[in-house]
Amino acid sequence: MTRTTRRRHPRRRARTLVATLTATGIAATGMLVFAGTAHAADTLGAAAEQSGRYYGAAVAQQFLGEADYAATLNREFNSVVAENAMKWDATEPSRGQFTFQGGDQIVDHARSQGMEVRGHTLVWHAQQPSWVAGLGGDDLRQAMLDHIRGVAGHYAGQISSWDVVNEAFEWDGSRRQSNLQQQLGDGWIEEAFRAAEAADPQAKLCYNDFGTDAVNAKSDGIYAMVQDFLNRGVPIDCVGFQTHLSSNADLSSYQANLQRFADLGVDVEITELDVGGSGSAQANVYRGVTQACVAVSRCTGITVWGITDRYSWRSDETPLLFDGNYQKKEAYQAVLDVLNGAAPRGDDQDGDPEGLAYSPAAWRPSHHALP
Ligand code: 9MR
């Protein structure tokens, strides 16, 4: 294992600078509050920020005009991700013809609120536009690289971390036999990360998947890929753990799994959290996931996969923190309490003092020139 291949991003440097200045009292702007001295914050984003983390939500732009939807988003969250609007089918419906309306609407909203934006997702076997299905070999490779260049290039400088590749592994830890895998071979994931790096050098680059909620065969396969990438200098900065769960989820190795990836030298992010169920059973799972994240210094934040049960992809399972009428559920309070009790993110002992380094203020898109 080597750590020397890890990249240092402009964004990480900016955050480290904020931490250094704040810690020495030179720029005590109040952006960072130490848990021991903080009073409890009463929103998810503010509570997460106290320990140097974000708390985000997946957003569907068609609901931004709904007063309760926007009010809840703006009050509670300091990060957003597009639930569908930045996917391949949404952004390149015809080859070479890019449309960014939905994604731009979400980014504009986030900018107006000082939220950071995660990018989801550049390459995925699902939600590909129909024209991709017929492509083979080098034609598909070219289409993938052009797509990454088009989308990551359009949003360059405005995305905190991109899910470059989504869901490329099977339960047994082997590669999913998607059109990408079959046509392009094992190298396609690496090629996608290199293209994303070229298109947006500022964004952190994540591999994102589900079913990785434990030390298991699938997370083993992903772990081996990340280790290989780091050893060979392939750009990768983070792993996203989607964390679509039920109330009977077994979280016994959830934290250990996050930690082993962090120990490799990548950040870890909870990217699509939702938990089917209700009441204290649901709250307990949300609590457990949140406790695991705040116990891992390189767990930089949590995104829930939607705001209200009303618009969830699993609506009938009521998996989110706000019910269909935007009322806080028991799980909300469980999450808030854990976030409020979290210690600041510490140094991960690798000589890179990223602990305490997060502040949305250091990463407001307004700090970056628009492309
Ligand atoms: O929540 C998304 C839903 O609106 C879409 O119809 C669906 C299409 O496949 O994708 C959902 O989001 C998925 C995400 O992009 C990747 N991880 C699994 C999510 C739930 O299916």
317 lines ligand 1 (CB under 6 A): no
Pick from 189, 184, 183, 152: nearest CA to 169:
189
Pick from 232, 45, 68, 83: nearest CA to 166:
83
Overall domain count for the chain? 1
pLDDT for residue 13:
32
Each residue of 26-35: pLDDT tens digit? Answer: 333 434 444 4
63 lines ligand 1 (CB under 6 A): no
126 lines ligand 1 (CB under 6 A): yes
pLDDT for residue 23:
38
Cα–Cα distance between 362 and 25 in angstroms, integer? 16
For residue 84, the CA-to-ligand 1 centroid distance in Å is 7
For residue 71, the CA-to-ligand 1 centroid distance in Å is 23
How would you classify the pairing of strands 238-241 and 244-246? unpaired
Distances (CA, A) of 150 to 121, 144, 153, 167, 182: 13, 10, 5, 21, 24
272 lines ligand 1 (CB under 6 A): yes
Which residue, by CA, sits nearest to atom 14 of ligand 1? Answer: 83
315 lines ligand 1 (CB under 6 A): no
pLDDT for residue 120:
98
Cα–Cα distance between 342 and 36 in angstroms, integer? 9
User: The CATH number of the domain where 300 resides is what?
Assistant: 3.20.20.80
242 lines ligand 1 (CB under 6 A): yes
pLDDT for residue 79:
98
Q: HSE on the CB side for 35, CA within 13 Å?
A: 18
In a domain, 327, yes or no: yes
Which residues, at least 6 apart from 250, have a Cβ–Cβ distance to it below 8 Å? 213, 214
In a domain, 119, yes or no: yes
In a domain, 118, yes or no: yes
In a domain, 2, yes or no: no
Which residue, by CA, sits nearest to atom 8 of ligand 1? Answer: 127
Cα–Cα distance between 229 and 189 in angstroms, integer? 10
For residue 15, the CA-to-ligand 1 centroid distance in Å is 31
At position 190, the amino acid (one-letter code) is E
Task: Give the ligand 1 atom nearest the CA of 121.
Answer: 15
Domain that holds residue 241: 10-361
Please identify every stretch of the chain with a pLDDT value under 50, giving residue numbers as ranges: 1-35, 37, 347-371
In a domain, 43, yes or no: yes
**Mapping DSSP to helix (H, G, I), strand (E, B) and coil, where does residue 91 land?**
helix
348 lines ligand 1 (CB under 6 A): no
The torsion angles phi and psi of 245, rounded to 5 degrees, stand at -125, 170
Which member of 167, 197, 272, 317 is catalytic?
A: 272
For residue 164, the CA-to-ligand 1 centroid distance in Å is 15
pLDDT for residue 38:
56
In a domain, 1, yes or no: no
In a domain, 366, yes or no: no
Which residues, at least 6 apart from 36, have a Cβ–Cβ distance to it below 8 Å? none
pLDDT for residue 2:
32
Test site for ligand 1: of 61, 63, 83, 310, most ligand atoms within 8 A of the Cβ: 83
For residue 305, the CA-to-ligand 1 centroid distance in Å is 9
Give the tokens for residue 25.
């009292």
83 lines ligand 1 (CB under 6 A): yes
Which residue, by CA, sits nearest to atom 10 of ligand 1? Answer: 84
In a domain, 273, yes or no: yes
Alpha helices in 179-306 (DSSP H): 179-184, 188-199, 217-232, 254-264, 279-294
Task: Give the ligand 1 atom nearest the CA of 166.
Answer: 16
* Predicted TM-score (pTM) above 0.95: no
**Mapping DSSP to helix (H, G, I), strand (E, B) and coil, where does residue 117 land?**
strand
Angle between helix axes 217-232 and 254-264 (nearest 10 degrees) is: 10
209 lines ligand 1 (CB under 6 A): no
Pick from 27, 1, 9: nearest CA to 354:
9
For residue 127, the CA-to-ligand 1 centroid distance in Å is 9
Is residue 354 annotated as part of the catalytic site, yes or no? no
**Mapping DSSP to helix (H, G, I), strand (E, B) and coil, where does residue 235 land?**
coil
Cα–Cα distance between 61 and 90 in angstroms, integer? 12
